[in-house]
Chains A and B, each alone.
Chain A
Amino acid sequence: MGFRFFQQKSTWIVAGLIISIALFSRCGSDATAGIPDTVDFNYHVRPILVQKCYLCHGPDESSRKANLRLDTYEGATALLKNGGRAIDPGHAANSMVVERIYHKDPDQIMPTPESNLKLTQQEMAILEKWIDQGAKYDPHWAFIPPDSSLLEKKYKKNAVDFFIQQELDERGIKSAPRASPESLLRRVSFLLTGLPPTEKERQLFLKETNEDAYVKMVDYYLQSPRFGERWARHWMDIARYAETRGHEFDYPIQEAWRYRDYLIRAFNADIPYDQLVREQLAGDLLPTPRVGPGNENESILGTTFLTMAEGSHSPVDIRKDEADRIDNMIDVTGKAFLGLTISCARCHDHKFDPISAKDYYSFYGVMEGTRFSPQPVNQASKLETLESLQKIQEQVRQWAHQQLQESGTANLLLQTNNQQAAASADSGYQVLGNFIGSDLDGWKSDGLAFGTKTTLGDPVFNEQYQFIGLREGMASSRKMALGIYGALRSPDFTISTNYIGVEAAGRESVIRIVIDNFQLIRWPIYGNIEQRVSDTKWKQYVFDVGLWKGHKAYIELLPGVYENHVFVQRPDSYVDARYAIAYNKKWVEPINKGLALAALNRQLKKLKVDLSIQSLLEQESRLRLALRDSLRFFYGVTDGFGKNSPVFIRGNYQELSAEKVPRTFLTALGTRGNNLDVAGSGRLQLAEVMLEQNNPLTTRVLVNRIWHHLFGKGIVETVDNFGLQGKLPSHPELLDYLSLSFKEHNYSIKQLIRTIVLSETFQRSTIPVTSSKEKDPANTWLSHFPLRRLEAEAIRDAMLAVSGRLDTAMYGPPVPQHITSFMNGRGKPAQSGPLDGAGRRTVYLEVRRNFLDPMLTSFDRPIPFTSFGKREVTNVPAQSLILLNDPFVMQEAARLAERMEKKGLKKQEEKIQWLYMNCFGRAATEDEIREANQLLTRLSDKNSRTVWKDFVHTIFNLKEFIYLN
């Protein structure tokens, strides 16, 4: 199956066009015209049911009327109270649905007049015919795996052309001829790299005329480092990429740019897409992460995808804040990888798609069990040193314990933590963490610093290499050495007391009570739930948490501090902790069995170590020193403890379902490895199940995105919505063929792009033959290449490229946003960035949520709050005003004029030619030269002292400059 149901749809789409036209012109047409012989559920019937019936008779039980559902066969054919059936398969005349849709009585007719929905004659005829033909229900087209035999067939030349031609032939539409070499060069250059062809590239590719010249050109651009810069930006639209959190003060998202660089490297290196899915959802959990520059963990950078949400700094209701943040994570994850609007099921079952509120809260559990965390970007390279250090420390420890074997210490060292409290009259008293024993009491040691055990029994030596005792138990970030990052976090607990106390010592470090996963901890409300530890003596840090009783929380110890929400760890920062307790009135320490150890230490005679141990100790201190440099961090995620969430009734967290929802993947997709209910968050399992063979969405959605970027329109036009309300694919077999082939080629995005770009379809001229324009005015069947406006980034980059200002330096911190006098508000940067962004490509310019670049925004770069797989292409006066009057555009015009003057071209005509070639990748026509000459004369007549700058500025304003032919 999976293939059959496509067979009829072609006729339908044409019929659809006719219907639209008929609707608009409000003239009647024959109801049965254009209705296919065999009515297909997915292509003909479901769109009607979804749009006209599901609001009251769809999957959402809460809004269902008359207890009738039409989204399932069982529901639609069930016996009704009055003895009839809504749908009686094979018998339209006996079906209540048919009776009601044709009913004359306004109290009876369906859809009801109040709904403002109306069935057309044609839609009614289709429903009738479908019921007569047996009322067969098929699963939603996008959920049916593609037919693998599509891949086995032999296609002449390029399979893309086969499927496109098939549809064109069927309709007798003639395709346009091949585009000119100049136009193809510009097309491929812009679409693959986002830049116009350079002079060198023109020479390279326009001179050759043999068959494989085009192939060579395509391969050249696929290999260009500029390729990744363009395609990363496409994905950044989906990831709601921003470098600040917006809200009131627009705080930074720490080193978010590393994710941009990660994407650029990934697209350039053609990292398989399945790997990118895994890394963005669970890059911190991969058993063997990918290694990037400097031998650092590359995979983990992908998780920034999850942390790009907006962030409020002082929400009074943090539970709601968490729910909103998680909703955004679910929304973006669902759209990005699955093309599904899972977020619609937040308050009720999805009105149209088979996604239940339970499905939504399954995802919720996964995201709720995910904790935000600073992650080091230059720690992996220290691993080797750290391993040697650990080995030495273990040897020394063994030696020390041997020395003490007879003294009865062994028992002491095996001591685990028990939570026996000293007698406390305090009813709320609870020991949340006790580190005087050898284990970390169920707390999660993340990163490397805290290791897996406390310091209990670690030998201590003095400067004369004398063994002077054993360490007491404590959790310590410097257990092995200073200069390593790690976090120690408690399991989640519910706050039930007035205070939380932590006994700690340290330097430039921090203890935080993380309530409802809330991170932007600061004055005024939350100032007290984060405290710096800057006293190397034991001290009791007390957190007044009475306000948040009933909230979920965990305690976090970090060997560094947050400075305006940027995590900083200095080389000598550390934190040690002995206890964490919750209490209402009085601090009472847990019983400290470690006291026996102190007694033992007092008895111990100073022991001189032998030479071999001394040399180990010397090595150890060298290694420790080597580790002590500063670390850099980005804002990533880490796993917490597995959590299942209850359903929030009508989306309200104050009204919870009794049962929690065990985490599973969307049940409607029929994947096998569905279980996400694991000890951790379940993100890795989520990534794997998304990539499972039985889930056709992940590849279809990606392949369609690529097609969309190349043709300006997806095979499925609603690129972020493959649900029931999404558009149907224009070329379903092509979409499936490409999905299968994509998987077969190991998820290679470059290979996929190559296949498409090498097709004849892609190489066609933008000018249709006249007859085709009449037959297919919307160019649905791609008889010609769709003309389109360049994206904001490509327009800006093109100006820099032709003016000679473009700096092709890659990667690194962003160039600060240029602040115009119209950009004001809280969180405004103290200094403006340069007008021309230092000549860097747009992808390297800062994206500040509250200070988005006006030029880029005007040319439709999306506001980064959710996934935008498809940008708007608008036409607003601000665009013309920018091109006419913006100082940046003027400046680049001046630079290009200057660059041209330096060429030493003699004749005016040569100069014009050079400018045309440079800006449009083609020679100027005679007409153009004549009119250009006239303009130049007129400009001098008007006493312009900058005739060439004015001329170049005019060229920038030609539509050809911002449109791709």
Chain B
Amino acid sequence: MNQFQRPLSRREMLGICKCGFGSLAMLGMFGSLLPSCSGVEAGKNQLLDHLGAGPIPPGFVPRAKNIIFLYMDGGISQVDSFDPKPRLAKENGEDPAKKFKMDATQFGDVGKILKSPWQFNRYGESGMEISELFPHIGTCADELALIRSMVSNFPEHTNANYFLHTGSGLQGRPSMGAWVNYGLGSENSNLPGYVVLDGGLIPPGGLDNFKNGFLPAAYQASLLRAGAEPLANIKPLDSIAGIQEEKLAFLKKRDQHLLQSLDGNDAIEAAISNYELAYKMQSSIPELTEFKEESEATKKLYGLDSPDPNTRNYAAQCLLARRLVERGVRFIELTCPDIGGNADRWDQHSNLKDGHERNAHAVDQPIAGLLKDLKLRGLLDETLVVFSGEFGRTPFAQGTDGRDHNPSAFSMWMAGAGIKGGTIYGTTDEYGYRVVDKPVTIHDLHATMLHLMGVDHKQLTFRFGGRDFRLTDVHGNIVKDILA
């Protein structure tokens, strides 16, 4: 399998394709193989077969082309959102230590059993129970496969974030978006294959949640955001039109000359074409983040007209995510807006009611809008939408009105490509504190996501430091029951 443990060098590519010098200048730039060489079809990946870099075994039909990862940073409370627990209301205010064995918590400030401030309603044909925090998402219940039995290994944000994103609790491993692009390549040569939308909050652990780790840098996420400068250094500093073009024309001529004088050189040739791409990105990326051609109805669907600025923020991210999907970007992650006040992401150690309410209000309508819009455009069939935090929260209070971290049980859902909508998978105990049936680990989640992308998680390996690394390490089982 691993006769060769890295992506092809240009030289090897040339060897295979026999297309001669100059035809594959853009290999590896966004981790993609471009259809510039006959016999090599982009995205289909036959070449990577040779490399152990994400081969698609026969019989494997990829269901998803893209993933939109809605990251609920901070740890959304399962018992207040997707996992109703009537017993909490009955025993509200009682001492949890008398009810069940408790693990150490992050803050150690254990209070009483705390009922959910929100009612749950049944939605759709499936009758899925979802709390009144998410009335819009509720209308999409029949699209969702809800997993109520998620577990994580870490009760701290940073470790849990790294774990959710990279399959390891420590810094430095490649993120899932990097793995997906390493395995499949990008479908768009003008855009990065892995994009993180910056809603205002970078999760604890920083940008390393989105890095390439030991994979080549081409697989790292590009951070995009709304506004005049959506991507770092995307705005030309030359104030006068045409100046940059003059510069580029000169560069092209002189660099070509250098290339000839060296009797050809792969690296320099690739670096030259890199400029052409960068030049194009300067216009293609701002075009992407402006919503000029979007109809008012679409904008409204997402909530871009909402009086809540945080809803507008997240709506813009969701709409942008759809536009990126349309352009073939493989992996898009959305981060949470900074809703201000005392509510720091979903991390409500106190003031649960206020914080969760405002966070939910920011994301609920935009997410429902995204699901509906994708469906309307026929994109939901090939797009996997994933909604998850890094862990859940305790069913008992921290202090009087907050909840502490709980890695022993949390809820998340997936929708779209290959997903059996209206499914509920796994069960927690009567308090929603621990999983009692069908636990799903982060590795299982990764294995399932990769599976839907048509990649066998056991085969997607990269040799580093003497070991074949996988996103799922030595673990991971596909959650088959939620697949269509």
Contacts and interface: CB of A to CB of B under 8 A. Distances in A.
Interface of A: 20-21, 23-25, 51, 115-117, 246-248, 250, 310, 312, 314-316, 324, 328, 331, 335, 341, 343-344, 352-353, 524-525, 547, 720-721, 723, 725-726, 766-768, 770, 773, 777-778, 787-789, 820-827, 849-852, 854, 857-858, 860, 863, 865-866, 872-882, 884-887, 890, 927-928, 931-932, 934-935, 938-939, 942-944, 950, 953-954, 957-960, 962-963
Interface stretch (B62-70, B242-250, B436-444): B242-250
B223 A315 contact: no
Given A721-B465, A726-B466, A931-B250, A825 B204 contact: yes
Given A24-B12, A866-B172, A875 B274 contact: yes
A314 B261 CA distance: 58
A471 B208 CA distance: 56
B242 A942 contact: yes
A316 B106 contact: yes
B236 A876 contact: no
Interface in B276-301: 277-279, 281-282
Given A314-B156, A878-B233, A958-B254, A773 B15 contact: no
Interface in B182-216: 192, 198, 200-208, 211, 213, 216
Most buried by A among B235, B237, B281: B237
A823 B202 CA distance: 9
A876 B29 contact: yes
Interface residues of B, number: 93
Contacts, number: 245
B267 A874 contact: no
A876 B275 CA distance: 10
A825 B203 contact: yes
Given A117-B1, A942-B242, 20 more contacts: A20-B4, A23-B50, A116-B1, A312-B156, A314-B106, A341-B467, A344-B465, A525-B108, A787-B267, A789-B267, A789-B271, A820-B232, A824-B200, A863-B211, A872-B216, A874-B218, A877-B281, A880-B277, A882-B233, A931-B250
B255 interface: yes
Contact of B246 (A344, A857, A942): A942
Contact of A875 (B11, B211, B244, B267): B267
B473 to A, nearest CB: 10
Most buried by A among B2, B16, B202, B250: B250
Interface in B104-126: 104-109
B44 interface: no
A22 to B, nearest CB: 10
Contacts of A873: 267
Interface in B449-481: 459, 463, 465-467
Contacts of A865: 170-172
Contact of B250 (A525, A725, A788, A935): A935
30 contacts: A24-B12, A246-B171, A247-B205, A250-B206, A314-B156, A315-B159, A316-B103, A316-B106, A335-B465, A344-B467, A720-B465, A773-B263, A789-B267, A849-B208, A850-B207, A873-B267, A875-B218, A875-B270, A877-B29, A878-B222, A880-B277, A881-B233, A881-B278, A881-B282, A884-B279, A950-B247, A954-B247, A954-B251, A957-B275, A958-B258
Contact of B235 (A854, A876, A885): A885
Contacts of A773: 263
A935 B252 CA distance: 12
Interface in B124-166: 154-159
Contact of A341 (B237, B242, B466): B466
A863 B172 contact: yes
A877 B277 contact: yes
A76 B217 CA distance: 42
A957 B171 contact: no
A315 B261 CA distance: 57
Contact of A524 (B109, B203, B265): B109
Contact of A248 (B157, B231, B255, B268): B157
A547 B459 contact: no
A174 to B, nearest CB: 14
B113 to A, nearest CB: 21
Contacts of B170: 310, 324, 328, 865
A138 to B, nearest CB: 20
A20 B6 CA distance: 14
A874 B217 contact: yes
Nearest to B253: A931
A107 B227 CA distance: 61
A115 B246 CA distance: 55
